[in-house]
């Protein structure tokens, strides 16, 4: 992928990252209140793996491809790392990356690598625990503390770890309000 194949950096941008199946599409849909978002048209075939969605002409949401897929080959992982690295380091309008983590599983090795990548790119990030409805409250509280502790060791990570459920709507309004604060004109 060539960097110039990315849409021009016209709007404040928020990117979503996480392991495959973490609930990224469901969270994006819950936050935007839409089942399908219009993709920003880009040169076909060039940035197939990065999806850009313009929200209300004020904010660009970017869906980074899911990582940590068990069957991914070494060359797939290399391609993903290169794509993500180039995007994260070369995007002046990128305001924050939401790093989605399954509330049942906590941080995995691939998430730790992502946190390190975000540190290196000096991109502000926030960890969001997804699918919280699948956890017992005590387990969720314990995992939340552990993830927050580990997140705090990463310079670029926002200290507050968010908790969400696309199913029950928990945490959605709060996250939506945070994102709205990044919108153009705010």
Q: State the residues that interact with ligand GDP by CB under 6 A.
A: 18, 20-26, 66, 130-131, 133-134, 165-167
- Which one, 12 or 23, has the nearer CB to ligand GDP? 23
140 neighbors 151 (Cβ within 8 angstroms)? no
Give the residue with the Cβ less far from ligand GDP, 66 or 151: 66
Tell the smallest beta-carbon distance from residue 86 to ligand GDP (Å).
22
Residue 37 and residue 16: Cα distance in Å, rounded? Answer: 15
Please give the backbone phi and psi of residue 20, each rounded to the nearest 5 degrees, phi first.
-55, 140
Return the number of the residue (20 or 49) whose C-beta is nearest ligand GDP: 20
In the complex, minimum distance from the CB of residue 18 to ligand GDP, in angstroms, rounded to a whole number:
6
Q: Cβ–Cβ contacts within 10 Å for residue 103, how many?
A: 25
User: For residues 66 and 80, is the Cβ–Cβ distance under 8 A?
Assistant: no
Q: How far is the CB of 170 from ligand GDP (least distance, A)?
A: 8
Tell me how far, at minimum, the Cβ of 103 lies from ligand GDP, in Å.
9
Q: Which CB atom, from 22 or from 101, has the smaller least distance to ligand GDP?
A: 22
Question: Helix 172-180 crosses helix 24-32 at what angle (to 10 degrees)?
Answer: 70
Least separation, in Å, of the C-beta of 27 and ligand GDP?
A: 7
Nearer to ligand GDP, 7 or 65 (CB): 65
What stretches of 40-169 adopt beta strand conformation (E)? Answer: 51-55, 59-63, 94-102, 125-130, 162-163
Q: What are phi and psi of 172, to 5 degrees?
A: -70, -45
Q: 111 near 100, Cβ under 8 Å?
A: no
């Amino acid at each position: 992928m060539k960097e110039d194949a990315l849409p021009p950096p016209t709007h404040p941008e928020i990117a979503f990252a996480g392991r495959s199946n973490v609930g990224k599409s469901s969270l994006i849909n819950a936050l935007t209140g839409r089942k399908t978002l219009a993709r920003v048209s880009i040169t076909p075939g060039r940035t197939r793996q990065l999806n850009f969605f313009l929200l209300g002409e004020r904010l660009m949401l970017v869906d980074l491809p899911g990582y940590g897929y068990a069957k991914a080959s070494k060359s797939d992982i290399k391609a993903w790392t290169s794509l993500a690295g180039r995007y994260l380091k070369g995007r002046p309008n990128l305001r924050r990356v939401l790093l989605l983590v399954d509330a049942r599983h906590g941080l995995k090795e691939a998430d730790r690598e992502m946190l390190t990548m975000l540190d290196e790119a000096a991109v502000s990030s926030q960890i969001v625990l997804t699918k919280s409805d699948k956890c017992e409250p005590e387990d969720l509280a314990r995992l939340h503390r552990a993830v927050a502790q580990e997140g705090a060791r990463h310079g670029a990570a926002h200290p507050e770890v968010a908790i969400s459920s696309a199913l029950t709507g928990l945490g959605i309004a709060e996250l939506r309000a945070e994102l709205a604060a990044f919108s153009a004109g705010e």
